[in-house]
């Protein structure tokens, strides 16, 4: 009987399934990291002393020295996984761009925003991590000094909103792909994502302004 005949498998193996799991898990880990990171750095808004104390705790426990490079590996790992989906050839880029323009569909545009912001974050995120981790310890004064020198403020004014955008889009995407949100809760999820996005962009910008005004 046909049901125990070998199925005409287009392609077998578990690789794609595992990579999809890992993509989701790396995404969730990065979402948690970014939200925690931005919240902790924003403690400078209350008082630079608090930020120094938090940073000091992290360094005393080697979480910055070990965690930092580990995070960089996670960042590269996530890039490796997600890049499987990005069209790197011009032909593919033209196709998806024309498709998005034709459809004019929110979640299709959102994916383009996510893929495009990803490429910028890959470069700027690496620069940011290098700049901070090669100049330990982390203190409010050092961050303020960096922010006030050269083009760094523009660098962060671009990076912070882009990361928030990418992360919030990722959160939305994971929730709809894995069924955390169902069709009836999709618009609610969308509102939560927009709310989170606005909140963290405001926190990020406020932190940048605080660093700009901190006496060094």
Contact residues toward ligand HEM (CB under 6 A) are 23-24, 27, 30-31, 34, 75, 78-79, 82-83, 85-86, 114-115, 118-119, 121-122, 125, 163, 166-167, 170-171, 173-174, 177
CB 25 within 8 A of CB 190: no
List helix spans (H) across 83-105.
90-103
List 19, 36, 123, 216, residue binding other proteins (CB under 8 A): 19
Nearest of 173, 163, 156, 157 to residue 200 by alpha carbon? 163
The distance in angstroms from the start CA to the end CA of the chain is: 79
Nearest of 170, 167, 168, 164 to residue 202 by alpha carbon? 164
Nearest of 190, 207, 180 to residue 39 by alpha carbon? 207
The answer to whether residue 107 forms part of the interface with other proteins (CB under 8 A) is yes
Question: In the complex, what is the shortest distance from the CB of residue 2 to ligand HEM, in angstroms, rounded to a whole number?
Answer: 34
CB-nearest residue to ligand HEM: 170
Measured from the CB atom, the residue of 126 and 190 that comes closer to other proteins is 190
Residue numbers of the site for other proteins (CB under 8 A)?
Answer: 1-4, 7-14, 16-21, 84-85, 87, 92, 95-96, 99-105, 107-108, 111, 173, 176-179, 182-183, 186
């Amino acid at each position: 009987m046909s049901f125990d005949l070998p199925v005409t498998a287009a392609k077998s193996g578990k690789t794609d399934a595992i990579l999809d799991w890992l993509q989701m898990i790396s995404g969730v880990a990065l979402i948690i990291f970014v939200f925690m990171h931005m919240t902790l750095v924003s403690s400078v808004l209350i008082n630079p002393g608090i930020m120094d104390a938090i940073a000091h705790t992290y360094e005393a426990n080697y979480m910055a020295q070990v965690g930092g490079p580990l995070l960089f590996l996670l960042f590269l790992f996530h890039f490796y996984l997600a890049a499987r989906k990005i069209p790197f050839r011009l032909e593919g880029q033209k196709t998806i761009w024309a498709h998005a323009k034709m459809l004019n569909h929110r979640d299709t545009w959102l994916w383009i925003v996510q893929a495009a912001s990803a490429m910028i974050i890959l470069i700027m995120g690496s620069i940011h991590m290098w700049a901070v981790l090669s100049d330990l310890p982390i203190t409010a004064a050092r961050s303020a000094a960096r922010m006030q020198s050269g083009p760094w403020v523009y660098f962060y004014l671009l990076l912070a909103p882009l990361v928030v955008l990418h992360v919030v889009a990722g959160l939305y995407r994971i929730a709809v792909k894995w069924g955390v949100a169902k069709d009836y809760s999709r618009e609610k999820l969308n509102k939560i994502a927009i709310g989170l996005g606005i909140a963290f962009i405001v926190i990020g910008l406020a932190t940048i302004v605080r660093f700009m005004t901190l006496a060094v």
